[in-house]
């Protein structure tokens, strides 16, 4: 069954875990993030400890990019493109590794319409991740990422 991003958002716990996953990809150098990412064994990066088998199936079947592609296909296509690009650039160094922050995070951010600056600026989210990691405690509620307010410019002020 195909899902939409709205379906994912409706499942607050899954939506929270998606955001922790994206946060960890951007912050893999932090010990807690690295510990979670080090447990990933699937080439799509969608697996435990972040997502259950059922959640992975739901995520992979989610339609993205204006409901034209499934997330599973977007991940595979984009990773293949990035690896081909790396092969051309990295022949001399021999370093063909995929970078979590530069290669993986943008795939999920773009596909799921997650804005990294909004994530970085949401102190409530950052506190929850620091205190609870992937598993919110009993009674903990996350209502979603708070959008950053647009900058207000005065007349004649440069961008």
Specify if 141 maps to a domain: no
Rounded to two decimals, what is the model's pTM? 0.84
The band of 1, judged by pLDDT with boundaries at 50, 70 and 90, is low
pLDDT (mean) for 21-47: 93
With a CB cutoff of 8 Å and minimum separation 6, the contacts of 89 are none
Specify if 151 maps to a domain: no
The reported pLDDT for the residue numbered 105 is: 92
- 4-19 tens-digit pLDDT: 999 999 999 999 999 9
Specify if 149 maps to a domain: no
| Range name among 54-68, 69-83, 97-111 with the lowest pLDDT average | 97-111
- Is residue 109 within 8 A of residue 115, CB to CB? The reply is yes
Tokens of 155: 């007349």
The reported pLDDT for the residue numbered 152 is: 47
Specify if 152 maps to a domain: no
What region, left, alpha or beta, does residue 109 occupy, with left being phi > 0 and alpha being psi -120 to 50 degrees? alpha
Range of the domain at 11: 5-132
Query: In the predicted model, is pLDDT for residue 113 greater than 70?
Result: yes
**CA distance linking residue 54 with residue 119, whole number of Å:** 25
The reported pLDDT for the residue numbered 141 is: 77
């Amino acid at each position: 069954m195909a899902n939409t991003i709205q379906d994912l958002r409706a499942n607050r716990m899954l939506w929270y875990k998606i955001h922790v996953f994206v946060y960890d990809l951007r912050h893999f150098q932090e010990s807690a993030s690295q510990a979670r990412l080090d447990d990933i064994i699937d080439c799509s990066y969608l697996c435990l400890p972040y997502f259950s088998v059922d959640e992975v199936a739901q995520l992979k079947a989610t339609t993205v990019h204006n409901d034209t592609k499934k997330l599973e296909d977007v991940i595979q296509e984009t990773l293949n493109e990035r690896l081909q690009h790396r092969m051309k650039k990295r022949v001399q160094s021999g370093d063909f590794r995929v970078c979590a922050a530069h290669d993986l995070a943008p795939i999920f951010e773009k596909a799921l319409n997650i804005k990294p600056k909004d994530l970085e600026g949401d102190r409530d989210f950052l506190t929850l991740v620091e205190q609870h990691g992937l598993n919110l405690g009993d009674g903990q509620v996350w209502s979603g990422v708070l959008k950053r307010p647009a900058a207000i410019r005065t007349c004649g002020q440069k961008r």
